[in-house]
A and B are shown apart, each in its own frame.
Chain A
Amino acid sequence: MASEAVLALPHKLRVMRMYRTGLKELINYSANRHEWYPRAYALRKEFEDNKDVSDREQIRRMVEHGEELLARFRHWEPLIKPEFIGGTAYSINPAQPKLKFTPNYDYIDEYKKGDHL
């Protein structure tokens, strides 16, 4: 039982995530948007064709089959924008950590004179 970790999301979330991840993976496999549009349309059509299935067991089997297919067809070199995680320019010059307090820049010169001590 412990080896089979089951994803216990609500059905709607699973289906939505499957659809959106599928669309993004189709972009990875398409050289350009014009190639992707008909594929995205076909994917939508496949989801729409099975919209009215009511048998729980069949639904479960179809969702699991879909997730299996998605896991098999993940692209080996997904398209990632350079500054995002996994991109080629990710974290090349990261932001500095901020100070715990911000100094009062208007009075810094005054404090440096030392009269307040």
Chain B
Amino acid sequence: MYLLSVFFPLLGGLINTSPVARYLGHRGSSIIAIFCMVVAFASSVVIYYEVVFMGCAVSIDVAGTWFSVGSFGAGWTFNFDILTANMLFTVTGVSMAVHMYACDYMRQDPHLNLFLGYLSFFTGFMCVLVAADNLLVMLVGWEGIGVCSYLLIGYWSHRLSAVKSAQKAILVNRISDGLLMWGVLWVWYHLGSLEYDLLNVYSASGFVGLSILIGAMGKSAQILFHVWLADAMEGPTPVSALIHAATLVTAGVYLLVRLHIHDEMFVIIVGSLTAFMAGVFGATQSDLKRVIAYSTCSQLGYMMVSLGLGEAGSEASMGHLMTHASFKAALFLAAGMVISGNGGNQHIARYGGSAHSSMFTMLTLMVASLSLIGFPELSGFYSKETILNLAAICPDPIADVAHTLLLLTALLTSAYTTKLFYQCFMVDFSGSSVTPVRSILPTLAMAILLLDIMLKVWVGTNLLSGVLFFIPWGVKTLPFGLMLAGIFTATAAVGSQRFTLMRFCGSRWGFDQLFARSPVNPILDLGRITWAVGDRGLLSVGDLRA
């Protein structure tokens, strides 16, 4: 039952990549792929309930001993504890959503079954990685996701730039994987075992920890190994949503959390530099998927920084990983909808006015963007604020530098995310300019959230973290201010043909129109109705002059 979440995706992948799938057709392959992923997700929900709420961690020995050489033996064991349950839930949930999306997005592709098979294989290997009980099985999953990422990025194998990007991805990952494997070898040499329960990586030399860190850096696209992530956008959009947002790039963070590698200055420095650098790159790209890829890279930098801040930082990092997986996958899927709505065009300079055509896409992207920039009460807010608060209270001076860089990155993130949103939806050159939002529900939601922000700015921060973190209220509210500053900067920079600050103030902030639209006109209407229907109609029935 627990193993369903690991092996059903692999089974689905096997069926869909085998010659049998040719006789199933697109419909059959979609059914099999989605069925396997639903089963896997249901199983991981059960695992989550059992392990996290009921507290029963499970260890399953699947195939006994893999090999045994002298005194060292490695076994095929899967361990389902709290960390694994969290990761499995994230991975299978996002993967199920992406499989469903891919069945529709790639419906015109002739080799859909192969695509779904690769996606399922990827999910299966990722589940093997997170459920593994020793470093060898973890490496099986690690290599598997690298290979599947290569197959998926280069899925359109007749396209030269896609093949080159796939090669770039796997070669950069290979360099970091080589260092990782060397580190694993040294762990074996120093400690005699590769089981997680028996490991304490710190008792090995510092070099071992460093090589494992570099292995994680490569997978998570940190600063020197980030070059593959932007070009990995050559793959189809569901691939970007699954791999380069939620699962593969989080494998490095998962490994570091699993091996209890925290309190490392190197990680903080690398993470903060990555976050800032990727933020700067994301603000200047003109390809939609590249901007989102760089924002992924930036958030991974956040996770790495928080890993270097101690035990609580590891938990905050896992929290950010989970929330980031969901909103980033949503962002990529919405971007896919935008791209297909624009006829395959990914250049944001030629976007505009999509809000007229699809309110749903706009709302999806808006909610995902708000979560990304840490808008209050959305998921990204809680995880991001936790990391920022932890960086603020950490006594190390390097953590102060990291805190500053992360704040700057938050400013940049909100700026380029808002700019992206405006360019995709609000800017409209077709003549009937800026999109008015006509429906009540988003306006109401935004009003509630704005009141919420004002309350928080007055109180100091989210009401819980007064219990957890005691830092000056100016430091706590700084991220809000920076987020709003980023939004205003992007609004001013993008500009609008219809809305100008001067004209807005010239029309006295629209108060006249506001009062005219809201209470005044219905009251006047009421008067008109009572006169026309009442005085002229009902009350003059007895009037003989009529």
A residues at B contact (CB < 8 Å)? 31-34, 77, 79, 81-83, 87-94
B343 with A93: CB separation less than 8 A: no
Within the assembled complex, what's the spacing in Å between the Cα atoms of A94 and B109?
11
- B344 at the binding interface (Cβ < 8 Å): yes
- Residues in B with CB closer than 8 Å to A82 are 343-346
B158, B345, B349: the one within 8 Å of A94 (CB): B158
A/B interface sample: 21 pairs, CB < 8 A:
A32-B352, A33-B429, A34-B429, A77-B286, A77-B287, A77-B347, A79-B347, A79-B350, A81-B345, A82-B344, A82-B345, A83-B344, A87-B344, A88-B287, A88-B345, A88-B346, A90-B159, A91-B160, A92-B159, A92-B162, A93-B109
Chain B contact residue count (CB 8 A cutoff): 18
- B519 at the binding interface (Cβ < 8 Å): no
A32, A33, A77, A89: the one within 8 Å of B344 (CB): A89
B residues at A contact (CB < 8 Å)? 109-110, 156, 158-160, 162, 286-287, 343-347, 349-350, 352, 429
20 more contacts with CB within 8 A, not counting A32-B352, A33-B429, are A31-B349, A32-B429, A77-B286, A77-B287, A77-B347, A79-B349, A79-B350, A82-B344, A82-B345, A87-B344, A88-B287, A88-B344, A89-B344, A90-B159, A91-B159, A92-B156, A92-B159, A92-B162, A93-B110, A93-B158
User: What distance in Å separates the Cβ of A82 from its nearest Cβ neighbour in chain B?
Assistant: 4
Residue among A83, A88, A93 having the largest count of chain B Cβ atoms under 10 Å: A88
Within the assembled complex, what's the spacing in Å between the Cα atoms of A82 and B347?
9
- Residues in A with CB closer than 8 Å to B346 are 82, 88
- Residues in A with CB closer than 8 Å to B162 are 92
9 tightest A-B contacts by CB? Answer: A82-B344, A92-B156, A89-B344, A32-B429, A91-B159, A94-B158, A88-B346, A91-B158, A77-B286
Within the assembled complex, what's the spacing in Å between the Cα atoms of A79 and B287?
11
Write the chain A residue with the least CB distance to B160. Answer: A91
Write the chain B residue with the least CB distance to A88. Answer: B346
- Residues in B with CB closer than 8 Å to A91 are 156, 158-160
Within the assembled complex, what's the spacing in Å between the Cα atoms of A89 and B108?
13
Write the chain A residue with the least CB distance to B350. Answer: A79
- Residues in B with CB closer than 8 Å to A31 are 349
